Every structure is written in structure tokens, then in C-alpha cells.
Chains A and B, each alone.
Chain A
């Protein structure tokens, strides 16, 4: 075991994968010599050479399109889009190509690629460095979508994603890169070194895709969260004094519905939270599934706390961000319903 930040854990996952499988190649904008704007690929080019870790032209469609061609050849590309906000030029490649190649070729060609993308807000990035568009991926048949909330999971999930036979969207909450963030932006930043999930196994290990985990056991209400919002939920539960059970979904698709339904049937209440905008967000899918599976167990309407349906603002970041106060209010309201 080693103490790692989420950046180091992600880098360690790529390092392990590149060492074990020479088909793994890593590329993207500023990814090679410099090691990425968030430093996630630092040292990989020096260690594995320019043919396996390199810089690309600023063309996201080109990055993903080239990765698809490489995967068809037999490589296992793990590419970085610098911010998920920049992925839109690549969306056609992701939706019309990567997601469908196995299906439309009846398995003659497959697309084992990982697209790593920093996601979410909290760094004063404004509307072009703060978005959470995970629902644009979970809506697409043929993709898997993963959002880790801590270094340990980030490493295990990324190695699992690289080894997965299908395309995986790997969204890295950038506000969690250097420490757990519970939404209290006015308090000092805590590093991962003091957090139990900053303990990361050395070498190869995986966290299986499609498995959620209970982060905080509780009896009163189930909170469904992922990424940064897991930490916000934990803080909100403490501060509201509500015995909430916080589930970290980890993989949005395929979703671990069993863990979700077991918890909601136990607590009989459910709050769904995410940073992404509310309308047609992944939370809507979660609410639908929970009511389908657990309707007769519910004692209160399922509530959602999410980003407002506006572009992500700059100066008003903390008015926008669904922080612990808003989540705590929802927890209390659910308990009183």
C-alpha cells in the first residue's frame, strides 16, 4: 500500500497497465512530454517511449477517432481529453463509432478504448472547465461510464476499464484530484494523505466495473451519489444529523441496481444527488429505477439535488454548486415528508 493522491493513483493505473500489456498506449493534448495539464501522465513517456505515450494535435475527434482505429487494429488506447467540456467535437466518434462498432460488425471489430476526462466544477473553471455531462454518455448504448470518488477506486477502476473489452468513459472529478472535497469551499483543503481511501495498493489490482459500494452505512435514508458528491453527501449527513446511508455508485453504467434497491428497501427513503444539471440528468434515471424497484417500500417522494439548469457560472460557482447545505436540506425534508 502507498499513500497517493487521485492524480498519482490514476498515473499508477496507467503505469501498471502499460508495464503489463504492451498494447496499452496513452495519448492526448499535452499528455506526452509535459505529462498532462493535471500531471496524470507525468513520466510515462520517459518510461515507455514516445511510441506509447505521445502528444496529439488539438483535435478531440482526431484523438478518439485515431484511438478507435488503433483498437480495431488490436491496441488498447487509453486517451485523455483535457477537460470533458472539450469532448463535444469527439461526440460523433464516441456515439456513432466507438459505442456501436461491436454491434454493427457483429463482433468482427471491437473498441476496447478508455477515454479519460476531468469532470465537474469547484475550481473556478467557468462554463468550459466545470461541466458534468455524464448523462450524455449513459444515454448511449454500447458505452460504460465510470466516475471514481477517491484514489483507491480510481486506480482499481481505471485498470479494470483499460482491461475491459468495450469502450469506457472514465470521468475524473477534478476537484478530487488533490484531496477529498465535501463542498465546504471556505475551509482549508485536506489532502488525500489523511484519508483512508488515499491508501492505494501497489501494483496490479482492479475494482470491478458495475459495482457500487456503501460509503456510509445508515438506516434513515439512502443517498445515491458519485464522484465529488459522495463527499458532499457524507458531510451533509453529519451536519444534518440524519442517519443517511450514502452509496457511491462508482459505475453509472452498467449500474449496480441491486445495491441501490437493497438499501432503499431498507431505509424506505431516497435522495439522488449530482453536480450535473437537473433536467434529464442521470438522477432522473436513478429516480425512475428506484420507483420501479422500490415503490411499495417508499415512505416519501424521492428527491433530487443537482446543479441548476443554467450554464456553469464563474463568479457564482458556490451559489450554483449543490453543496452540503442544499443536500442537508433535502435530507431533512425527506425525513419530514
Chain B
């Protein structure tokens, strides 16, 4: 087509190209986590809690680990928990897993509309909870029920909420698993993403304004760090040195979207804290001991008025996002088996066995006992109804609690509805 066409080609060669990050592998391919850099357990130093944030920038790019492949607790972050505390931690994680299994089945049986499980992420919320004190407040997402289980919140209350039955503490108003338990330091879960990150910072600011000693913990997923409210939380926490621990649970997947879409070129999610001057630590989220040790460190910082800490829990969402999701459509079916940080329950169990504080036999026995307890709680909850049968929250209640006092227009609507 002559000279013009050559010019065009030259322009095309120099044109911009649009980039969209892609995960390493897709369904049908072989899982590959060779890009996940995993330092040896025990190799990351433990700085004093009053360290200058600028001196520990490396911790945002490493992974703090305590349990090695032989099941030994090694390095400067080890030693924070005694045998009984470790066995308790194991029981909490096993309880959460058994609870999830029963509720998933209950959802398939139509006893509830929706459920979200924790498979693979049990250590994060279970271990973190044990680093807090009574009166501290979590602003959780929907995948931190370990905060309740490890905080001795009654399972039957959780199930009453999941079944939206007549004993539902939230009166049937909230989607299953979006619990609220003020007395157990668990703020009402929104369901909208990231909104609660800045609220946690506000709560912590209020505690400091009131010269209290309580601290807050905010929670967010890897995907939701892309929300503006993540930035709002960090800038307020940084500016006012709020006594808050800000947790990012990086479970690699935001429904079908791999974490690279939210992370972009920043290397790690923890690194986002560095620009705010907030100490940022990455931790092996499948290592109960490491999560607990890092949580303790951050909680102490907050309690000593040294300000916020950002923690990235590196873990893997083994299950589906929710009961409405099918991961086989976007990732290899065997990907979870290839996850290099293993299973949190098996790792803690192996450690306890290695130090002579546990055995295969005791584990089997504990499994059976825990399942009995979960089934017992379920029986009790089901006696108060499930979503479509038995005891239901009252329709009248639908109108209550929108305001402290029901305004005239709502009273008229309720009267007209006949409730």
C-alpha cells in the first residue's frame, strides 16, 4: 500500500501496550509456587517493639516463620507459648475446621442460604485472638470466625446466626456469618469491603483520646487493599499513631481474582505500610506460632502507645470463596496441595508430636470429641429453627432497631403491614 502504510507500521511498532497481570497458572495446568520466596524458619530477626519503623523495612519483604519442616520451633520469634497453650490453639483450629465442615453441609441441606469457610486460614484468626486482652476490639471481615472460637464465644450462638432462627442474636437481619459479638471484642461485620479498616483506626483513636488502655485490630483481605478505605485507614493510623494492629490476610485469591491484580508492582502488600512510616511485617499465616508471636509484638507496640503495625498474613484459601463460588473455574484443582506453607493444623500437630506434647492417638480422640461438641451445638441450634423451618425471627422485628426510637413513618408502615 505504499509509503503511507510503512509509516503506519513504524507507528504501530512504537505504540503503547496495555498490561493485565495474570496468575502463573490456570485450570488444567500444573500448580507452581516457585515465585513465592520463603525464608528458612527462624531466619528473620525479632526487633525490639520500640524499633524505628525505618530500621525494619526488610520485614515487609520477608516472611517470619517459627515452625520448620521438622516441626521444630526455631529462631527469635519462638518460645511465646507453653505446651498447654499450644494444645489449646490446636483445639481451636480443629474446632473451626469441624464447625466449617458441618455448616457447609448444613448450607447444602438448605438450612441456611450461605456460608463461608476458613480451610487453610485457621491459624490466622485463632492465633491472633490469643494475643489480645479482654476489652480489645476486632473489626473483622467474614473470614475471621477463629476470633470467636478462640475467644470462647458459644458455637451455638454462631449457628443461631447462621440459621437465622428464633434465637439468632442478630434477629434474622444479617447475612449468615456476618456475626456481631460486642462482649467478645468482635465488631459487627459489614459485608462491604474495607469500610471497617478505617473504623478500627477510629475506635483506636477514641481509646487514645479517652486515655484508655484498650487497643483495636482491623482486618482486610488482599483484594480489598485496593479499596480507598485501606488508604484511609493507613493515613489516619499513621497521622494519629493510633493504637491499632492492621491485618491483611493475603490468601492469594479475591474470589476469582489472583492477588497480583490488587498488589500491582508493590512486591508485597505489607510494603504498602512503608510509605506511611508504619512498621510492616509479613508472617507465615499457616504457622500458628509465628502468627501468635507477630501479633503479640504488634499488640504490645500498640499498648505501649508506640502506634500502629501492619501485618500481612501469607496464607492460602483452600476452599471456595463462599458457597456461591466454584474455584475450579479459575485455578488448578490441585493448587492447594502445592501451597508451600502447608496446612496450619497439621503443622501445629506435628510440632506438638515432635516435642512430645501430643500423639496421633490423642489427635484422633480430640477430633472425635470436637466433632461431638460441634454436632451437639448444631442440634441445640436446630432445635430453635433453621432458615426455612422451625423457629423464625418475628416479622414484626423487621421494623425494630432501625433507630433507637421508631419514627412515625415506620410505625405507620408496620401497622399497615399488619405486624
Task: Identify the A interface with B (CB < 8 A).
Answer: 25, 51-52, 56-57, 59, 61-62, 65-70, 72-75, 89, 92-93, 96-97, 101-110, 141-142, 144, 165-166, 210, 253-255, 257
Binary CB contact string for chain B from 200 to 211 against chain A (1 if under 8 A, 0 otherwise): 111111111110
Q: Does B235 contact A (CB under 8 A)?
A: yes
Q: Does B139 contact A (CB under 8 A)?
A: yes
Which residue from A62, A75, A96 sits with its C-beta under 8 Å from B236?
A62
Nearest-Cβ distance from residue B157 to partner chain A, whole angstroms = 12
Q: Pick 8 A–B contacts, CB within 8 A, sort by A.
A: A56-B236, A61-B232, A97-B199, A106-B171, A106-B173, A106-B180, A108-B180, A255-B409
Contacts of A57 in B (CB 8 A): 235-236, 239
- Asked whether B198 lies within 8 Å of A66 as measured between CB atoms, the reply is yes
Contacts of B402 in A (CB 8 A): 102-103, 141-142
- Asked whether A66 lies within 8 Å of B199 as measured between CB atoms, the reply is yes
Which residue from A59, A67, A69, A105 sits with its C-beta under 8 Å from B216?
A69
Which residue from A93, A102, A104, A254 sits with its C-beta under 8 Å from B178?
A104
Interface size class of B (residues with CB under 8 A): 35 or more
Which residue from A25, A69, A103, A210 sits with its C-beta under 8 Å from B173?
A103
Known contacts A103-B401, A166-B404, then 8 further A-B pairs from the complex at CB < 8 Å, ordered by chain A residue: A25-B206, A59-B231, A69-B206, A69-B216, A73-B206, A89-B228, A92-B192, A106-B173
Which residue from A25, A109, A141 sits with its C-beta under 8 Å from B188?
A109
Binary CB contact string for chain B from 395 to 407 against chain A (1 if under 8 A, 0 otherwise): 0000001111001
Contacts of A25 in B (CB 8 A): 206, 209
- Asked whether A70 lies within 8 Å of B190 as measured between CB atoms, the reply is no
Nearest-Cβ distance from residue B172 to partner chain A, whole angstroms = 9
Nearest-Cβ distance from residue B391 to partner chain A, whole angstroms = 16
Contacts of B181 in A (CB 8 A): 108
Which residue from A70, A89, A105 sits with its C-beta under 8 Å from B170?
A105
The chain A residue sitting closest to B393, CB to CB, is A106
Contacts of B154 in A (CB 8 A): none
The winner among A51, A59, A89, A109 for most chain B CB atoms within 10 A is A59
Which residue from A56, A96, A106 sits with its C-beta under 8 Å from B190?
A96
Contacts of B200 in A (CB 8 A): 69
The chain A residue sitting closest to B139, CB to CB, is A69
Contacts of A106 in B (CB 8 A): 169-171, 173, 180, 401
- Asked whether B199 lies within 8 Å of A65 as measured between CB atoms, the reply is yes
Nearest-Cβ distance from residue B366 to partner chain A, whole angstroms = 33
- Asked whether B182 lies within 8 Å of A102 as measured between CB atoms, the reply is no
Nearest-Cβ distance from residue B195 to partner chain A, whole angstroms = 5
Q: Does B408 contact A (CB under 8 A)?
A: yes
Nearest-Cβ distance from residue A23 to partner chain B, whole angstroms = 8
- Asked whether A70 lies within 8 Å of B203 as measured between CB atoms, the reply is yes
Q: Does B229 contact A (CB under 8 A)?
A: yes
Q: In the complex, A59→B227 CA distance in Å?
A: 13
- Asked whether B190 lies within 8 Å of A65 as measured between CB atoms, the reply is no
Given contacts A66-B236, A105-B182, A254-B407, contact A73 B188 (CB under 8 A): no
Q: Does B258 contact A (CB under 8 A)?
A: no
- Asked whether B199 lies within 8 Å of A72 as measured between CB atoms, the reply is yes
The chain A residue sitting closest to B198, CB to CB, is A65
The chain B residue sitting closest to A96, CB to CB, is B192
- Asked whether A73 lies within 8 Å of B207 as measured between CB atoms, the reply is yes
Nearest-Cβ distance from residue A147 to partner chain B, whole angstroms = 17
The chain B residue sitting closest to A51, CB to CB, is B209
Q: Does B219 contact A (CB under 8 A)?
A: no
The winner among B202, B229, B232, B408 for most chain A CB atoms within 10 A is B202
Given contacts A67-B202, A74-B206, contact A61 B228 (CB under 8 A): yes
- Asked whether B195 lies within 8 Å of A96 as measured between CB atoms, the reply is yes
- Asked whether A52 lies within 8 Å of B188 as measured between CB atoms, the reply is no
The chain A residue sitting closest to B401, CB to CB, is A103
- Asked whether B201 lies within 8 Å of A69 as measured between CB atoms, the reply is yes
Given contacts A106-B170, A254-B407, contact A70 B239 (CB under 8 A): no
Which residue from A72, A104, A165, A166 sits with its C-beta under 8 Å from B203?
A72
Nearest-Cβ distance from residue B241 to partner chain A, whole angstroms = 13
Contacts of A142 in B (CB 8 A): 402-403
Q: Does B174 contact A (CB under 8 A)?
A: yes
Contacts of A66 in B (CB 8 A): 198-199, 201-202, 205, 236
The winner among A52, A92, A253, A255 for most chain B CB atoms within 10 A is A92
Contacts of A56 in B (CB 8 A): 236, 239
